[in-house]
Structures are given as C-alpha cells and as structure tokens.
Chains A and B, each alone.
Chain A
Amino acid sequence: METIKPARQLIEDAKRGRRRTLDEPTSKQILESYGIRTPRSMVIRFSSEIGNALRHLSGPVVLKLISPDVLHKSDFGAVVLGLSDEQAIKAAIEDISQRCADHDYQVEGFLLEETVGKGHEIVIGGYKDDAFGPVIMFGLGGIFVEVMRDVAFRICPITEVDAREMMEELRGAALLRGARGGISIPDRILIDTLLAVGGERGMLMDLTDLLKELDINPLRADEQGVTALDARIVLAED
C-alpha cells in the first residue's frame, strides 16, 4: 500500500492533472491524514490485479468504479457489495467497464474495499461561504438528510461545545444515543470527528484556501469509532 502523502501534496498533484473534483481514493487519503478512518482498500486497474488485492484484504469486499464522469456511482450501478471470489469481481468489473464504454465514460480504475460492519450512517460536509469562510455540516444519513433535511451547520472553526450543540440540534439525535435499541455512539467519537473536520486544526480550516466543498456521505459510526464509506472533495478555483 502507498504511504499517505500530505493533503496539500495530494491536492497539488490533482490540480496538475487539471482536476476540480478529487476521486474517491484521493479524497479518502486526505480524510485519513486528518485522522478520519476509511476502509482498508486497494486500487486496481486490471482484472489481473484482483488476486493480489484479495490477499491484502479480508472478508467480502466492495467494488467501486473510479471515474471522473460518474458522480453518482450507486445510481449507475457502479458499486457492488459482498464480493468474495476473484471470478465474481472479474465479472462485475467487465460489466461496469462495458457500460462505461457504452456511455463513453472514462474508467480510471476500481476500488476494492473491506466491508465495514453495522452502525449508524451519518453525514459530515463542508463548504466555503463567500462571506463567512469555511462552514461545516452534520446530519444523520439516509432519509434524515435526503428528505427531512435534518442537518446542523456551524461556521468554522467549531469548538467542542459547538460540536456537542450540533449533535443536540438534530431531531434524530436520540437515535445516535441508542434509541429504539440501536447502537449507541459515545458522544466523544462524534465530537472528535467533527473537530477533525471543522475544528481549529481541522481539515476545513487547514485547507481553507484549497477546498470549495466536501461531502463525507455516508460515515459509518458505531461504539468503536467512525469510518468514511464515501467522500468527495471539490477544489476551489484558483
């Protein structure tokens, strides 16, 4: 596996490649550099690399397309869950590659990730406001964010008290604390994650000159911690 490059260098590399939106593996590397865990993964370009990748990963894996032309991977059928053997992965890759070719979409490679256990799905995002600077958003995933728009915003940098109040502001806050027999996530885990993104030394403040928008959606959270299952970073124009 590659060692983690500093976030700034990753972004400079992407800019040299004339990118405005970072691909999922790069976005996740940047999250890792701010202490936000992502699933163990391998990037492959050819089916011949599947065997080697599977030796590095355990359990059933998730296959995801890496393409600058496909923004909504799930909608395009470019995320396949629960793959365990080389043949099934190869077939999935061939299928996705064929459909990309039909649409004239570029295929840059595939991401193979370990499957992450059960937990709550939350969303953390950010953007840079013209007048107020970096802003962080926090919400519960799924219908809570999509339909109910149950999200809390704060101007960065946030303090620990701000982070706690963001959690309390959500109508679905009780779910995160184990309502209806669900998993209870310790407040500390969510506060630390919010601070890693929007705190004084968090990602949005640290990279404020480079970032335009950030989506970490979903972020899987359980008693042990959080794992970013998907991430997208949009870069600021120079």
Chain B
Amino acid sequence: MNTAVEESVQDIGNDVALDALFHPSTIAVAGVSSKSVGQGNSFIRRLRRAGYKGNIYPIHPHETVLEGLPAYRGLADTPEPIDYAFIAIPAEGVPGLLAGANGRVKFAQVMSSGFGEGGRGQALQEALVDALRIGRMRLLGPNCLGVYSPSAGISFVEGQMTQAGSVGVFSQSGGLSVDIINHGAHRGLRFSGVVSLGNCLDIGPCELLEHYLSDTDTHVIGAYLETVEEGRRFFEALRAANARKPVVILKGGCTAQGQRAAASHTGSLAGNDRIWKALASQTGSLLVDSLEDFIDTLAAFQSWDPTQAPFSGRVVLFGNGGGASVLASDALGRLDIELPAITSETVQTLKELGVPPGASLDNPLDFPANILNRDGGRLPEQVLEAVVRAEAPDIVLLHLNLPVVLPYRDGGLMDELMSMVLRLDAAMQQGTRLFLVLRSTGQAAYEPKRQECAQMAMKAGIPTFLDLSAAARALGSLKKHGKFLRNRGFLGQEQAIGGTFSSRS
C-alpha cells in the first residue's frame, strides 16, 4: 500500500466495533441480476436458505424487483440504514456506488477484484479509498469472499451451514477460508465466524484478532496469515490476551521471504519464520504448518475449558494395535507428552477385573480386538473407568483400528465400543477429557462406518482424529499452550471467557 492510501485509510478511523459485520440487522446487495444468477443472487438465496432474519435490500440502477424483493437505486435510498453491504459489481462501478452511501452503511464487503492486486488497478484502489471517506463506511476487502456467520445465517459457501459455535477464524486467502469451513465442518468445528479478508485495504488481521479476543461467543481463534503490516499491533494484542483464548496461526510465506540485507551477524540470522516462532513463544499462540494441522489443532482446542487447569501433558493411551501404540507413544514423547506409568494399586484393580494375558497393564494400554470383545465389550469400559478414576490423566486418547474391529460380530463390537466412548465421555470426571482416533486404511469398505462413528463422536463434542500422528500433533499444541500458561502462573479457575479480555484498552 502506498503512503497516500495508507494515510487516507487512517482518516476513516477504525474504532467501530465489528459486531455488525457478524450480526447485521440489514443487508444491501449489489450485483444481483434479473436475467442470470450473479454473485448477488446466490448470496441472497444463501441468506434465505440459512434463515437470515434481517431485511435484505437489492441495489440496482434500474430494476425495481430482484429475487422477489424491492430493489433500490443506491445505498442511500434504502428505507433503513445498512449494516452490511455486499458488493459484487465490476470494479469500475464500486467507488461510485460506495461514495453515494451518505453515511448510511456501516460495512461494505467488496467481493470484486481489480484494486491493485498483481500491480494493476492502483487508480481504482485510490478511488475506492476516497469513496470510503466520502460515503463514510468501513471496508472489508476488496477481493474477498466476506463473512461466514452461522448464528446470523450469513455464508459464502454453498451447502448446509454448520451449527454456530466458538471457533473464530480469519484468513488472508479466500480459497483457504472456504477450505477451512468445509474441512472444519467435516471435522466437527463449529464457528462463531470465518472472515475472508482479501486485500485488507481497511479492515485487517489486527482488527479481526482484537474482535475475536473480546467476542464472548469466541473461545478459540484461528488465523491464516500471509502479510501482517501492523506486526507490532498484532503482537501486542496477543500478548495482552495472555493466551487465555488459544490462538492457532497458520502462516504462509515463511520461507519465501528473502533474507534481509544485513550489516550484522544477528541480521543475517534473522528471518520471517524466526519472528513468527518468537511471537508464538511469547504469546502462547500455536504455530502450525499445514491446513490439516490447523483444523486438528482447532478441533483439539474447541473443547478446551479455560476454567480448568492448563494441560500438563499426562495422557493415557488406550486402544487396539500394539505397534501403533508404541509408535504413538514415541510421537507423544517427542512432543514432551508423558504417558505416566499406571500405579501398582491400579494394576491390581485391573487384574481383579479379569484382564487376560495379551493385554498390557501399563500405559499405553494395548487391548487387542479379541480382548476388547470379551464380556460383550464390557471389559474395556470397566478398565478405562478404573484407570481414569485412579490416575486422573488430563486426556484419555482412545484409538480404534476399524479394519480389525469391524469384522467382530459383523460390526457389533464397533457399535458397542462407540456407545462406550459416548458413555465414558459423558461420565468423565472434572479435569479429564476423552480424545478419539478412528484409524483405518482409507479403503472404501471401512469409510462409511468410520464417517458414521466420527460424526457421532463429534456431535457429542469429542475431539476426533483420523490418525494417531495427527492427534499427537494436536496434543503437542495443547502441551505448548499449557506450558505457556503454567510458566506464567495461569492455573485456570480465575479466568472466565469473554469479559476479561480488554483488547481495546
């Protein structure tokens, strides 16, 4: 962004709370066609399908009715002021449209591109900034998909909306924000919002971060970032929040950054990846490397309860597959997560329960499928109840290998084990959480059952993973976050979600 543009954007002021962006009571839509299905038409149809409750005002230079709704010529002509204006008309028309808003629009979301991306459209970009000042509004974009807000019924993806939830996401890539919603929905994430930021000509990552930190609906924050110009502000907002809401950061372009031209030794060792790693260490944020890791980590944190003591890394691993248990123990060990030995008293209890030879009586608890099948599947439940009661681990990581378990009683054992998982989770004592791993080979024969089981568990709020290494990585992030809190004396209890986060102080 050039200096002139930057200065005029600052004139617009950025002290307006973003709540209306997520919960607008009125929406204007420009880019609705009477002859075809344009972006605006699709947007209105999605709003209706998702049950958006506010008023919708199509904007069009000469049509009077669009999508069955009365249309208006300009943003200043609607019967009531507009909270959210969705703009998907050709770039050349955007500045004029916004400049005519006469202060009656809070937020404009410009989907159109052609405002300086790839070095083209600089003049239009400047015209857009001028238009914001003249029309007096805040801007999301341009070149962005906008806001996904399940609780308000606003979406930029087709298909069923997910239930509203506590995960707030912002992304500097539109395509990736769609991936996050789709992938996340499939993995049980429930969003308080997902925002595609586009070119960040006005509203940028810092403001979204500050919004989610103070938003009482949001308990976990995810960010896909490429360029953060106000790095200092981003760092300070995170540091003031002290990781009481976990923040998961997927940073693109860490290695592509050229090395700084440096006159000192220190300068030559510095790099963009080093700064983000430093930021994560100092703020308790979690830096992840891939979209899969991002989703897995958010899934692990979604059920995190900030009033509980931070995760200390004590895990009981239970499941079928001896080698898989050993490899998972190694993966956890590398991430500084311990599998504490089961005490001799508990081992005695397990023996009395009748655990046969062939099952291990230590952590990891390896129970082959034929032993899981004893007593109609009652044995594993008794074992886990006894272990959780006596050992009080932070997390029980329960893994089931479907190709081995499914043949038992034609799927009957698997169903019983899933019922057990749900019962155990519901009865889990304070301080212990259940994480589930449903392993398989990816072969089509097992996938429908795996999906069914996964959906069942996720619906119950159980963080569910598709392989042990993904679960281990997510637990690694929990451990880092817990260590950050402990090192700084935050031990749970006193921190309530929401009100205590003052990001605008």
The interface of chain A, by Cβ under 8 A from chain B, is 21, 123, 125-127, 129-133, 135, 137, 145, 149, 151-155, 158, 161-162, 164-165, 169, 212-215, 217, 232, 234
- Do A213 and B278 form a contact, CB below 8 Å, given A132-B232, A132-B235, A161-B487? no
A-B residue pairs in contact (CB < 8 Å), sample of 7: A125-B267, A129-B231, A132-B231, A153-B277, A154-B278, A155-B282, A169-B281
Contact check: which of A123, A131, A133, A212 meets B265 at CB < 8 Å?
A123
Which residues of chain A are within 8 angstroms of B282 by Cβ–Cβ distance? 154-155, 158, 162
Looking at B268-276, B304-312, B414-422, B444-452, the stretch in contact with chain A turns out to be: B268-276
Give Cα distance in the complex from A52 to B230, angstroms.
54
Give Cα distance in the complex from A35 to B418, angstroms.
63
Residue of B nearest to A137 (CB): B266
B281 & A126 in contact (Cβ 8 Å cutoff)? no
A135 & B278 in contact (Cβ 8 Å cutoff)? yes
The interface of chain B, by Cβ under 8 A from chain A, is 228-232, 235, 260, 262-267, 269-270, 274-275, 277-279, 281-282, 487-488
Which residues of chain B are within 8 angstroms of A149 by Cβ–Cβ distance? 269
Residue of A nearest to B279 (CB): A155
Give Cα distance in the complex from A145 to B268, angstroms.
11
Which residues of chain B are within 8 angstroms of A131 by Cβ–Cβ distance? 228-232, 275
B265 & A215 in contact (Cβ 8 Å cutoff)? yes
Give Cα distance in the complex from A127 to B269, angstroms.
11
B281 & A135 in contact (Cβ 8 Å cutoff)? no
Which residues of chain B are within 8 angstroms of A137 by Cβ–Cβ distance? 266, 269-270
Which residues of chain B are within 8 angstroms of A132 by Cβ–Cβ distance? 231-232, 235, 275, 279
Which residues of chain B are within 8 angstroms of A212 by Cβ–Cβ distance? 263
Residue of B nearest to A234 (CB): B263
Known: A131-B232, A132-B279. 10 other contacts (CB 8 A): A125-B269, A132-B232, A135-B275, A137-B269, A153-B275, A154-B281, A165-B281, A213-B262, A213-B266, A214-B266
Residue of B nearest to A124 (CB): B266
Residue of B nearest to A134 (CB): B232
B281 & A125 in contact (Cβ 8 Å cutoff)? no
Which residues of chain A are within 8 angstroms of B278 by Cβ–Cβ distance? 135, 152-155
Contact check: which of B263, B269, B275, B487 meets A129 at CB < 8 Å?
B275
Q: Identify the interface centre among A161, A162, A213, A217: most chain B CB within 10 Å of its CB.
A: A213
CB distance from A210 to the nearest CB of B (A): 15
Which residues of chain A are within 8 angstroms of B264 by Cβ–Cβ distance? 125, 127, 213-215, 232, 234
Give Cα distance in the complex from A165 to B282, angstroms.
9
Which residues of chain A are within 8 angstroms of B262 by Cβ–Cβ distance? 127, 213
Contact check: which of A155, A164, A169, A232 meets B235 at CB < 8 Å?
A155
Residue of A nearest to B232 (CB): A133
Which residues of chain A are within 8 angstroms of B269 by Cβ–Cβ distance? 125, 137, 145, 149, 151
CB distance from B398 to the nearest CB of A (A): 32
Give Cα distance in the complex from A123 to B268, angstroms.
14
B265 & A125 in contact (Cβ 8 Å cutoff)? yes
Give Cα distance in the complex from A126 to B266, angstroms.
6
Which residues of chain B are within 8 angstroms of A215 by Cβ–Cβ distance? 264-266
Which residues of chain A are within 8 angstroms of B488 by Cβ–Cβ distance? 161
Which residues of chain B are within 8 angstroms of A127 by Cβ–Cβ distance? 260, 262, 264, 266-267, 270
CB distance from B254 to the nearest CB of A (A): 13
Which residues of chain B are within 8 angstroms of A214 by Cβ–Cβ distance? 264, 266
Residue of A nearest to B229 (CB): A131
CB distance from B313 to the nearest CB of A (A): 16
CB distance from A62 to the nearest CB of B (A): 20
Give Cα distance in the complex from A169 to B279, angstroms.
14
Which residues of chain B are within 8 angstroms of A129 by Cβ–Cβ distance? 231, 270, 275
Contact check: which of A151, A154, A161, A213 meets B263 at CB < 8 Å?
A213
The 10 closest A-B pairs by CB, nearest first: A125-B266, A131-B231, A213-B264, A132-B231, A153-B278, A153-B274, A215-B264, A154-B278, A133-B232, A234-B263
Residue of B nearest to A138 (CB): B266
Give Cα distance in the complex from A152 to B229, angstroms.
23
Give Cα distance in the complex from A169 to B483, angstroms.
13
Which residues of chain B are within 8 angstroms of A123 by Cβ–Cβ distance? 265-266
Residue of B nearest to A232 (CB): B264
CB distance from B151 to the nearest CB of A (A): 33
Q: Identify the interface centre among B231, B275, B278: most chain A CB within 10 Å of its CB.
A: B278
Give Cα distance in the complex from A165 to B280, angstroms.
12
CB distance from A207 to the nearest CB of B (A): 15
Give Cα distance in the complex from A170 to B229, angstroms.
29
Residue of A nearest to B230 (CB): A131
Which residues of chain A are within 8 angstroms of B275 by Cβ–Cβ distance? 129, 131-132, 135, 153, 155
Give Cα distance in the complex from A130 to B17, angstroms.
28
Give Cα distance in the complex from A223 to B433, angstroms.
46
Give Cα distance in the complex from A215 to B267, angstroms.
9
Which residues of chain B are within 8 angstroms of A153 by Cβ–Cβ distance? 270, 274-275, 277-278
CB distance from A174 to the nearest CB of B (A): 16
CB distance from A160 to the nearest CB of B (A): 10
Give Cα distance in the complex from A213 to B263, angstroms.
8
Give Cα distance in the complex from A151 to B275, angstroms.
12
Residue of A nearest to B262 (CB): A213
Give Cα distance in the complex from A104 to B229, angstroms.
44
Residue of B nearest to A133 (CB): B232
Which residues of chain A are within 8 angstroms of B235 by Cβ–Cβ distance? 132, 155
CB distance from A155 to the nearest CB of B (A): 5
Residue of A nearest to B263 (CB): A234
CB distance from B80 to the nearest CB of A (A): 41
A165 & B265 in contact (Cβ 8 Å cutoff)? no
Give Cα distance in the complex from A212 to B267, angstroms.
9
Q: Identify the interface centre among A125, A132, A149, A217: most chain B CB within 10 Å of its CB.
A: A132
CB distance from A192 to the nearest CB of B (A): 18
A162 & B232 in contact (Cβ 8 Å cutoff)? no
Give Cα distance in the complex from A215 to B262, angstroms.
12
Which residues of chain B are within 8 angstroms of A234 by Cβ–Cβ distance? 263-264
CB distance from A148 to the nearest CB of B (A): 11
A217 & B231 in contact (Cβ 8 Å cutoff)? no
Which residues of chain A are within 8 angstroms of B230 by Cβ–Cβ distance? 131
Give Cα distance in the complex from A133 to B229, angstroms.
11
Residue of A nearest to B489 (CB): A161
CB distance from B266 to the nearest CB of A (A): 3
CB distance from B198 to the nearest CB of A (A): 19
CB distance from B322 to the nearest CB of A (A): 33
Which residues of chain B are within 8 angstroms of A217 by Cβ–Cβ distance? 265
B263 & A21 in contact (Cβ 8 Å cutoff)? yes
Which residues of chain A are within 8 angstroms of B229 by Cβ–Cβ distance? 131
